Structure formats: structure tokens, C-alpha cells
Amino acid sequence: MLHTKNKKEKLNSTLSRDEFQKALETHHEEQDFNVIATNIFSLSATSAGQVCQHLDQVIMLPSTANVKDLRRTIRNTDMDFVPIYHKERKNIIGIALPKDCVNKNPTDTLIHNLHSPWFITEKSKLIHILKEFRDNRSSVAVVLNTSGEPIGILSLNAVFKILFNTSNIAQLKPKTVSVIERTFPGNTPLKDIQRELGIKLTHYGAETLAQLVLQLLDTPAEIGTSVITDNLLLEVKEISLYGIKSISIKNLLS
């Protein structure tokens, strides 16, 4: 018998109706099927806007990014895709997947190897989205609000995590976490930020916040550019003739 992990890995964007039913039946042999059944009903009552990863928490790359930038981003996160934006983070022009850049030159730009973004509304129910993932042969969708603006990202893996969550999502209580969302001048010493926010930062030889971002970015910075370190999202907010003027810091909530 295959392990549960292997079964989940087979649940991809080309999942057929028979495969989906077989996965449920097989999973029943090892887990409480009643819990999964409850989660299925939850899919029909839960909308994309309720469970998507909000845009300000999504790691993205600008349209000027190259293969090297993508590889570094994937290596520093647990993401298996990276949305690409042009000029503004809300202007998502495609989705970059690691598999498409395996044999590419590190300096090749990503813009020629992107998958067209698939858009869904925030009110779309997960039970319908699951079918659309299969029909569109996609594994990630951009969630739009009623005004047609992107508000988040929803992946197929996220839907399956809900489906196979044996803790019954209807009874899950939100975790209490300390939310960090601050903006600092680029020349702020890292030691001052650590003391003020009560966090630990890996310095990588940098002394200021701007130096840290440039060290991790390894490319010219622009407004909206973001990097991850120590489970924190650092995003460039302002740039002057002298360099990075201000940077926002947000913790990545799980």
C-alpha cells in the first residue's frame, strides 16, 4: 500500500473524477473518512477569498527578474511557484514554475517562460474551483475582489490541504500570533530593528536594513521588490538617488 504522502502527491491539476474518488476511498483506509466528508461539505461553503493567501503575504518577483532570482526565491521558501508582476504588485502578468527553468541560463529573464495567470473571484466556492483547477490544467489561481483587483493567491495544494485536514476545518480556531507590519528607513541599523521588534535577523554581513535587502536581492532594487529572510517579508517601498529609502517588514503568517 502506498503511503499517504505519495497519494497526495498524485493529486495534481489533471486529477480525474475516478482518481479523486479512489484517493478518497484509499485515504479512508488510514484516516477517519467522516472527517474528510465534513471537509468536502466545507469546500462547498467556503469561498476563495476566505482561504487564499493575501497578496501582501505572497512572495513575488518583478518582470525584470531572471532565472537566478527565481532559483534563490524557491530555495529560501517552501513555494513551488512564484507570481511575476510588472511595475505594481497588483499587476500580475504570469506564474513562474521551477521546472520551466531547469535548463535555462541563470541570466535568462523569466518573462519569456511564464504561465498565463488564471483568475477567479473571491466569492468562488472551493468545490467549483477544484474542478476548474483540473479543467484549466493549472495549479495556482489569482483571486480577484468585486472590483476586479487581485487580493490573493490560491493554490491547488492549499485546497487539498483543506480537504485532507483531519482536524475538520469547520472547528479550527485561528492561531494567536504577533503580527509584524512596520516600515523603516533603509539606513536603520539591523541591531535597532531587532531590539525594537524583538526578533532575530541573519545579517549576512550587512549592518543596515537596505544593505541586507541588497545582499539578499543581488540585483538592482526597485519599488515593490521583495525578499525573504528569517520568515520575514522585506519589501522596498521607496527609492531615492542615494539608494533604498524605506523598507517594510512583515512576518509570514502560517
Phi, psi of 75, rounded to the nearest 5 degrees: -65, -35
Q: What pLDDT does residue 8 have?
A: 42
The domain limits of the chain are 49-171, 181-251
Q: Which CATH class is domain 49-171?
A: alpha beta
Q: What pLDDT does residue 1 have?
A: 43
Average pLDDT over residues 196-205: 86
Q: Under a CB-based contact definition with an 8 Å cutoff, are residues 204 and 212 in contact?
A: yes
112: buried, middle or exposed (CB in 10 Å: 19+, 13-18, 0-12)? Answer: exposed
Q: What pLDDT does residue 20 have?
A: 54
Q: Under a CB-based contact definition with an 8 Å cutoff, are residues 196 and 204 in contact?
A: no
Contacts of 54 (CB under 8 A, 6+ apart): 151, 152
Average pLDDT over residues 15-23: 54
* pLDDT at position 9 over 50: no
- Say how far apart CA 40 and CA 163 lie, in whole Å: 6
Distances (CA, A) of 71 to 75, 165, 210, 247: 6, 30, 22, 23
We find that the CATH architecture of domain 181-251 is: 2-Layer Sandwich (3.30)
Of 169-173, 194-198, 217-221, the one with minimum mean pLDDT is 169-173
Q: What pLDDT does residue 171 have?
A: 45
* pLDDT at position 69 over 50: yes
Task: Output the CA torsion sign for 93, 99, 101, 104.
Answer: negative
Mean pLDDT of the chain: 79
Distances (CA, A) of 16 to 40, 132, 243: 16, 12, 52
Please determine whether the domains at 49-171 and 181-251 fall in the same fold group of CATH: no
Average pLDDT over residues 19-43: 54
Model confidence at 51, pLDDT cuts 50, 70, 90, reads confident
Q: What is the pLDDT of residues 152-190, one digit of tens each?
A: 999 888 888 777 764 444 444 444 456 788 999 999 999
Q: Which residues, in sequence order, are bridge partners of residue 142?
A: 119, 153
Q: Which residues, in sequence order, are bridge partners of residue 226?
A: 235
Residue of higher predicted confidence among 17 and 211: 211
* pLDDT at position 26 over 80: no
Model confidence at 209, pLDDT cuts 50, 70, 90, reads very high
- Say how far apart CA 186 and CA 213 lie, in whole Å: 9
Q: What is the pLDDT of residues 83-129, one digit of tens each?
A: 999 988 899 999 999 888 888 899 999 988 899 889 999 998 888 88
Q: What pLDDT does residue 86 have?
A: 92
Q: What is the pTM of this model?
A: 0.55
* pLDDT at position 19 over 70: no
